[in-house]
Structure 1
Amino acid sequence: MSRRLVLVFAALVFGWVGRVDAHRPIFSDQPGTDPQTAVPVSDPDVSQVIYRELTDAGPQLWLTLTVAGPQELYVQLGLPALERFRSFRPQVLVVGPGLPDIAAPVTLPEGTGAVVFSTQDVAEPRFFHEPFTRTDSWILGSWTVSLPQAGRYYVVACDPSGQRGKLWLAVGRKERFSVTDWLSMGEWTRRIRAFHETDQPASPSRSQDIPASDRSAPQERRPRQPREGTEWCNVWIPHANNEDLPRVLLVGDSITQQYYGHVAAALEGKAHCAYLTTSWSVCNPAFRTQLEVILSQYDFAAIHFNNGLHGFGYTEPQYEQALKETLTWLAGHCPPGRLIVANSTPIRPGPERAATNDRIRRRNEIVAALAAAMDLLLNDLHTPMTGQGESYSDDYHFVDAARRIQAAQVVQHITETLAP
């Protein structure tokens, strides 16, 4: 078996481990309905999630955490994908010392301020299928808050409009699991599936031996994702057992795969260059799982990211929301200032392809706006290829001379990023 096949197989196996690590569940007897009964979070850097239902008796969910100094806090809010919660739009607040003094929708502890994140404008939450527990969620938003000083902070979920329902609230990005956690995984999975009201077993079972009259009614199938004729994913991690040089990751599609060889050659002796190339759009919930397979196994000094030429079955608003979620998450997996975002190359010019090129331009505008808003480095691969009809080997791909131009820009951005 080739080294590449072994690596991909291992990544797929251990990648599910990385996927489970994404959020360590918090099961607590604390009511968590006010600051006095807030559920403690031991390490706000570690990715953790709590599952609760807002009720008339407990209309707020409070988490509490303590930081030793200024730091950033990552927060994510989601709902179980159940039809009765489709219009549920709770708010998230981060409360603590040094935050703005505002008129908050909850009573704040003395000496604290707050930052409020509304989800009322989220028309289409991002659907997410968690493959290990086989549960479905709608993600309403992800945010990063700068905690300005040492002290005790709170993360609060509530709905000032009075709507009630189930939600989950997550903090932290680092994936960390103990042996004891793994021993608890079966019970955790059962409780998470019960919260999501998922009746189907999470692992293979002998359900065919159970009389049909005793089986639970199946849940509605999760939304079907737009598909292409052939879907694929390639992973290449050279020098996987060697830490003598910084490791960089190129994330992209077949365009990335074609210029990768020139990039790796130019970076030889300076960095080990890996790639993950795929046909899946950033809008496909499984795309995140592909990334987690790699990022749960390796640390990267820089990440060069592109995704935009696939998934035209998704709308541009869906693309913008999914891209923002992914870039926010990716920024927590590489050193500050070392996430490079590339826009997409045009396809071969021609009237029959004008509509697709228009969509590529609109997606590139989204990329540029997000890069500016998130203070990310932008690599413009689109402009040098525009109008270069002779540079194409087919409608999407380029001859080697054009690939070298793209590779040179990628190398320049990575080299500048890695410079002391």
Structure 2
Amino acid sequence: MKKTLILVSLLIVFASSAFSHIPFFLTPEDFVEGYLVKEIDLSQIYYYIFSSAEKIRFVFEGTCLLQNISTVGQQFHMLFGVPKEADNMKSTADFRPNLTFYGPDREVLEDFFLESAEPEIMYEFFGDTYSYLYVRHDSELTKEGIYSVEIEAEGSGRAWITFGKKERFTVAQIAAVPRWIREMRAFHYQTGLAKWEKYGLGIVGIIGTTLIILVFF
């Protein structure tokens, strides 16, 4: 029993350290009434493909849904980017949706003007992908109520947005990591294995040998 607990703990630590965001791949049906983000401080990333000019809306409450604890004073963390084009593709840097952050009274807390923004090239190790990072935002929630983030695109394209920094994974989520990698790479116009999957067999072998020793010896 003790060895099993050690094995599970090691798997959780490894997956958590390697994979920082819980991914969600959304569709238009998810935004009929706005997409509710239940834990805004939990590290999570949302992927969306705009098929045409449209607006999507994320909402979250300024009071904890589960424990009824006020989040006033809590830090709000958000990143927004566009997957970088693959080789032999037209640049995706021109896809720059409008992004607006609203407070509980529908007041504009920040309106991000991306047309003239100089993007940061962001590399994500686990999926082995690159993105144009346009927004890196941190602020403090000052009121209770419903906050929202709206993204409006004038045409087709792909974009992702992240919220939160707290990392927490379930066993089921850890088991889904291989599928997540394939979906993430496809979203970023990539195919095949990530670099670490190609060249990390030695590391995986060492980890596997260590786990076998812990379980059986």
Q: TM-score, normalised by structure 2?
A: 0.70
| Residues 1:27 and 2:30 are matched in the alignment | no
Distance 1:27 1:53 in 2: 9
Distance 2:93 2:80 in 1: 14
Distance change >3 Å, CA 136–CA 147, structure 1 → 2 = same
- Structure with the larger strand share: 2
| Residues 1:133 and 2:127 are matched in the alignment | yes
Alignment of structure 1 residues 86-105 onto 2, 5 Å: 86-98=93-105
Distance 1:28 1:55 in 2: 13
Alignment of structure 1 residues 251-400 onto 2, 5 Å: none
| Residues 1:191 and 2:183 are matched in the alignment | yes
Contact 2:121 2:132 survives alignment (8 Å): yes
Alignment match, 1:119: 114
Shift of 1:199: 1.4
Distance 1:174 1:94 in 2: 21
Q: Which amino acid aligns with 1:120?
A: E
Distance 1:63 1:19 in 2: 27
Greater relative contact order structure (CA < 8 Å, 6+ sep): 2
Distance change >3 Å, CA 168–CA 135, structure 1 → 2 = same
Q: Which structure 1 segments of 5+ residues have no match?
A: 1-13, 99-111, 206-420
Distance 2:91 2:121 in 1: 15
| Residues 1:80 and 2:74 are matched in the alignment | no
Shift of 1:19: 3.9
Distance 1:92 1:147 in 2: 18
Larger radius of gyration: 1
Distance change >3 Å, CA 156–CA 19, structure 1 → 2 = farther
Contact 1:28 1:39 survives alignment (8 Å): no
Contact 1:31 1:39 survives alignment (8 Å): no
Contact 2:44 2:164 survives alignment (8 Å): yes
- SS state of the match for residue 179, structure 2? helix
Q: How many residues align?
A: 172
Q: Could you list the per-position Cα deviations for residues 30-50 of structure 1 after superposition, in whole angstroms to 9, with x for gaps in the alignment?
A: 63446x1x2221210011111
Distance 2:46 2:190 in 1: 17
Contact 1:33 1:60 survives alignment (8 Å): no
Q: Which structure 2 segments of 5+ residues have no match?
A: 1-12, 64-69, 200-217
Alignment match, 2:6: none
Contact 2:75 2:141 survives alignment (8 Å): yes
Q: TM-score, normalised by structure 1?
A: 0.38
Give the RMSD, CA atoms, in angstroms: 2.3
Q: Taking every aligned residue pair, what percent have the same amino acid on both sides?
A: 24
